Structure 1
Amino acid sequence: MKSLIYTFILSASLILASCGPNLSKQNKELRDQVIAVHDEVMPKMGQLKALEKEAQQKAEELLLQDSTQTEQVQALQGLAVELDQAYEGMFVWMRQYETEDGERTPEEVKVYLEDQMVKVTQVNEQIKGALSKADSLLKNQ
């Protein structure tokens, strides 16, 4: 009976040990993917702020020129808010993102990184969407 227990413990240990390095490699790749999604839009942060200011200025100019253009003014003001939210969204994500695994098990790290991939992808899409909207709205002004 004791040998059966020892065999079971040894087998379980070997299985876990064989999964460990592979899971660590997967976690490194997943972390690299998370950072790649971040790095794709991070250089556009200055552009977000510049477009936000441009949208605000155009809204103010339009109000001064023609106060009946409230729909266009509201669209520009809404765009400025959307650009600011996309900008802030990146920094909110960056502040909460943890680069160190700490005391987490490889399985916990994997779950954490998968969650971060969802969050950073949402930030990425929000930034791209705001930039696209700015491109079409500001070109028509």
Structure 2
Amino acid sequence: MKNILYIVTIAIFISFSSCKETKKAEEETSKMTEVMTIHDEVMPKMGTIGKLVGQLKPMADSLGSESVEAKAMKDLQEANRSMMDWMQEFGDRFDADEILNGKELTDEKKQWLEEEEEKVKQVKENINSSIANAEKILSK
């Protein structure tokens, strides 16, 4: 009887432990999905940035580097550069299996993912605000 109770106790413990591990893996996958969703949301806007830079450049060239048009163009270029830099750094930190297939992350990579989420949110803000500003200037 003691053996059965002992085996049942161990089975319950293992069951709870594996549920915890599954939940942690799902949270990591969810966090990675959130980060990639933000990336996927703003990546198509890179073409808009290029188009707006092209429209602002002649104005900025004729009005000078201190003009609002030149500033808006620089902001767009910096937003573009921040996205390119973020993608490069993200790719250096995580491999394809971690990004696309939900491969379990080390503790260090879990921390990195938190950092990358904050970075990509800032990239998104930079892209959206620079586009909005450029469009406002061009609509005048």
Specify the TM-score bucket, using the shorter chain as the normaliser. Answer: 0.7 to 0.9
**What percentage of aligned pairs have identical amino acids?**
27
Alignment length (residue pairs): 121
Q: Is the 8 A contact 1:48 1:87 kept in 2?
A: yes
| Separation of aligned partners in 2, 1:26 and 1:109 | 13
Q: What residue is the counterpart of 1:4 in the other structure? A: none
Q: What residue is the counterpart of 2:74 in the other structure? A: 81
Q: What residue is the counterpart of 1:91 in the other structure? A: 84
| Separation of aligned partners in 1, 2:33 and 2:18 | 23
Deviation at 1:104, TM superposition (A): 4.5
Distance 1:23 1:103, change over 3 A: closer
| Separation of aligned partners in 1, 2:60 and 2:124 | 26
Q: What residue is the counterpart of 2:22 in the other structure? A: 21
Q: How does 1:107-122 map onto structure 2 within 5 Å? A: 107-122=107-122
| Separation of aligned partners in 1, 2:73 and 2:39 | 22
Give the secondary structure class of the aligned counterpart of 1:45: helix
Give the secondary structure class of the aligned counterpart of 1:27: helix
Distance 1:38 1:103, change over 3 A: closer
Q: Is the 8 A contact 1:27 1:109 kept in 2?
A: no
1:111 corresponds to which letter in structure 2? Answer: Q
Question: What TM-score comes out, normalization by structure 2 length?
Answer: 0.74
Per-residue CA distance 1:54-101 (angstroms, 9 max, x = gap): 11112234x4xxxxxx69x61111111100000010010000112455
| Separation of aligned partners in 2, 1:34 and 1:76 | 32
Distance 1:21 1:103, change over 3 A: closer
| Separation of aligned partners in 2, 1:85 and 1:46 | 14
Across the aligned residues of Structure 1 and Structure 2, the Cα RMSD in angstroms comes to: 2.5
| Separation of aligned partners in 2, 1:85 and 1:16 | 46
Question: Unaligned 5+ residue runs, structure 2?
Answer: 1-9
| Separation of aligned partners in 2, 1:54 and 1:28 | 40
Q: Is the 8 A contact 2:61 2:70 kept in 1?
A: no
Q: What residue is the counterpart of 1:32 in the other structure? A: 33
